Structure 1
Amino acid sequence: MELDRIAKEAAGASETAAVAIRYGGESGGWREDKPFYPASVVKLLYFDYAVEHFPRRTAEFERALRDMVVDSSNDATALVVDCLTETTGGPELEPADLAVWMAKRQRINDWYRHRGCDHLNVCQKTWNETSYGRERQGYGPNMELRNSLTVRESLSILLEFLERRPDPPGYLWREAGDPQFDGYLGAIAPKGWRVASKAGWTSEVRNDVAYFVSPDKQKSLGLGVFTEGTSDRLESVREVGRAVLARIGLF
């Protein structure tokens, strides 16, 4: 099965979309190594890192993890990032102190890069508005250290996470009624198939990575769709996903 061709056709060869597919032991994609602003998809990586490195978690930290993944809470994400990197927000720092602070913020990047993820930057919190103080300093003067992910790496991380440990808390598994299901790839799942996913959105991007598994667990599909442009791109995530499933023969 020519998954590269399927991905390109499903995306309409658009230069504002990226697609990654894993199906039947094969992989393919369209612009799958193009860096995108991930929005809340980055929370998948923070969850992955937390589960791997913090097997014993306090009730409050667990509450934050749950709210970060299930509800996509930015407030919860702020606590998680602080705990994972042993940093906190606050007033601006002098250069020497800022260097120490930023080095700590690189812990998550370092772990993923050691695993072969070379195109990512995941060291920033997610914001309802914007960053201030040392958090703003941490982006660099020209925002060059903004979070960045490719759809290929994002999907691979989701699938590897579920393979290593099938999400014991169940936070990634979605059902109808969940905005991250109804508005994104979950909405196009074949009848009866389960979906584990993490979506992200801003006024500039609409992104989702998802794992679909059949009721008998004999078939599965990994699919990631990232889009960028104007705020009306939400439908395109579903449309691209629906086109992929149709070409594979699942829709």
Structure 2
Amino acid sequence: MRPKPPPGWDEIDEEIAELEAELDHTYRVIENLRLQNVQLKKQIDYLKKREKQQQDKLKRKRVPPPSSPTRKPKPRQASGKTPRRRVSKRRVKLSCLQFILLAIAVATIFTTLGLFVTRLIIQRPTRPSVEPSPTVPQTLYLPPSPPIFSDLPQAASQPVPSRLPGRENSEVVYNLTSPPNFQQSARLQAIVDEIVRLVAVRNFPKKPLSITLIDVKRQEIAGYRQNQLRYPASVIKMFWMTVVYAQIENSIWENESDFNIYISKMIQDSDNQAASFILDSITNTESGSKQSEAEFQAWLNKRQQVNRFFQAAGYENININQKTYPVYYLKLPEPKGIDLQMRGNPQNPIRNQITTDHAARLIYEICATGEAVSRAASEKMCGWLIRDLRSEVWKKQWQDPGDFNPIRGFFGESLTKADVKFASKAGWTSNSRQEVAFVATKDGETAYVLAVFGNDDAYANDGKIFPRISRLVFKRMRATN
């Protein structure tokens, strides 16, 4: 039996961990600035070297060869007037060269800074940049064109998944027809209640908070407002991935590998462009202009198949048929045209809605039991959701402070020193923060699923509360197993 820590030790331990997290964040910012400074210095040094080489080259041209005779100065004219002095063309050329090199150096520096600022604006999900009005197709449906991901080496030749002949309008449903049979647990409920007290003490609102906690080994569950439908942000992309693999298993698509680059960007990087392309592909729809009522209903019926896929399996009242924004390759910083038409009343728009129970159940069926779609499909899907918590890996992968980082500010940040298997999907907007994760220790003693949705500005703007919640749950689950 493990000895009990002295009173107040948990609070001290948490404060130390928080200070370590703040210090680590400061180090990250300093390191990013140092890297930027190094890059700028390299560019300046390179330009200086080129300028020196040009100057040396010009000097060599001005010096006459040793064998050439020295020119004698021309005698003055008889009139006594001094001939006009010629302006050296070489000196003028040298001055122009220096000016050009200086202009190039200044332009390079400003271009680098501009790209850096643009990357911050585009990548930050809370501040989508303003885009011009989209050019929309006039027909109801066109085969989707692959988006261009500027940071991929094969951006110019993205694969376009193709449906098999005769499967253009085929629809599939989830293979699991009912939810898992979990038992309510007082032990887990005590942990959930402790999370609620933690957020309340730190002045976070409780009403927009939802929690689901599942003990995988004991088949037990507990929660707080876990059946409240809430906006899931990018957590929804895990559901679209499941539909993709169900369609692949049902022989709707020619090549599974054509989806890999899109699934990777959608799940690993939470890319909205890849997610938009996948949603269009699996529903055989496309964003476009507003349609007549008859055309809209036909389009909506196709888009609704992602809802029917899960609703038939007991995911009650789930709605996952709307894209996540901004989608820059379609010039959609926000819903427009038929996507806006689908939202209905602007005063009370229809949006994606799921519960933490929905999210927890799906990742449980993917990573814990391997029953989602099939054993092979579950292994592939869980593989996409796996996060490498080693600091030297995820800090290097997401160096830019403006990037969406699925570990920094989320559950994984406080588990970087724990020896665990960690699979997750996080979401983050200007007024919400969400995450669902499967956590299993390598010794096999502890395995659980945690889903937390905080649909309020307070959760969105605080990068410490989710790591604190995760650390608390991990400690309690380890202590009770």
| TM-score, with length taken from structure 1 | 0.92
Using the alignment, how far apart are the partners of 1:97 and 1:121 within structure 2?
21
Report matched runs for 1:49-64 at 5 Å. 49-55=243-249, 56=253, 57-64=255-262
Partner of 2:452, secondary structure, is strand
Which stretch has the larger CA shift, 164-173 or 25-34? 164-173
User: Which residue of structure 1 lines up, in the alignment, with residue 358 of structure 2?
Assistant: 153
Q: How many residues align?
A: 251
- CA shift, 1:167, in A, is 3.1
Using the alignment, how far apart are the partners of 1:44 and 1:234 within structure 2?
22
- CA shift, 1:58, in A, is 4.8
* Post-superposition CA distance 1:131-168 (Å, at most 9, x none): 11111111112353200111111110111122223432
- CA shift, 1:223, in A, is 0.6
User: Which residue of structure 2 lines up, in the alignment, with residue 81 of structure 1?
Assistant: 279
- CA shift, 1:44, in A, is 0.5
User: Which residue of structure 2 lines up, in the alignment, with residue 217 of structure 1?
Assistant: 444
Q: 2:339 aligns with which of 113, 135, 147?
A: 135
Using the alignment, how far apart are the partners of 2:247 and 2:191 within structure 1?
37
- CA shift, 1:192, in A, is 1.0
Q: 1:6 aligns with which of 179, 183, 191?
A: 191
Percent identity of equivalent pairs:
26
Contiguous gaps of at least 5 residues in structure 1: none
- Aligned: 1:72 with 2:264: no
Q: 2:469 aligns with which of 219, 240, 248?
A: 240
Report matched runs for 1:70-109 at 5 Å. 70-109=268-307
Using the alignment, how far apart are the partners of 1:112 and 1:18 within structure 2?
21
- CA shift, 1:218, in A, is 4.1
Letter in 1 for 2:379: D
- CA shift, 1:85, in A, is 0.4
Using the alignment, how far apart are the partners of 2:289 and 2:428 within structure 1?
28
Using the alignment, how far apart are the partners of 1:35 and 1:240 within structure 2?
21
Kept in 1, the 8 Å contact 2:318–2:354? The answer is: yes
Using the alignment, how far apart are the partners of 2:467 and 2:318 within structure 1?
25
- CA shift, 1:204, in A, is 0.9
**Larger strand share, 1 or 2:** 1
Using the alignment, how far apart are the partners of 1:204 and 1:193 within structure 2?
30
- Aligned: 1:167 with 2:379: yes
* Post-superposition CA distance 1:26-51 (Å, at most 9, x none): 11111111111100000000011111
**Larger helix share, 1 or 2:** 2
Using the alignment, how far apart are the partners of 1:235 and 1:18 within structure 2?
17
* Post-superposition CA distance 1:6-36 (Å, at most 9, x none): 2122122622211111113211111111111
- CA shift, 1:206, in A, is 0.3
- CA shift, 1:173, in A, is 0.2
- CA shift, 1:241, in A, is 2.3
Contiguous gaps of at least 5 residues in structure 2: 1-185, 201-205, 327-332, 399-404
Kept in 1, the 8 Å contact 2:412–2:470? The answer is: no
Partner of 1:4, secondary structure, is helix
Which stretch has the larger CA shift, 106-115 or 223-232? 223-232
Q: Which structure would you say has the larger Rg?
A: 2
User: Which residue of structure 1 lines up, in the alignment, with residue 224 of structure 2?
Assistant: 30
User: Which residue of structure 2 lines up, in the alignment, with residue 186 of structure 1?
Assistant: 412
Kept in 2, the 8 Å contact 1:33–1:150? The answer is: yes
Structure 1 residues 200 and 242 mapped into 2: Cα distance closer, same or farther (>3 Å)? same
- CA shift, 1:212, in A, is 0.6
Letter in 1 for 2:409: G
Q: 1:229 aligns with which of 450, 456, 469?
A: 456
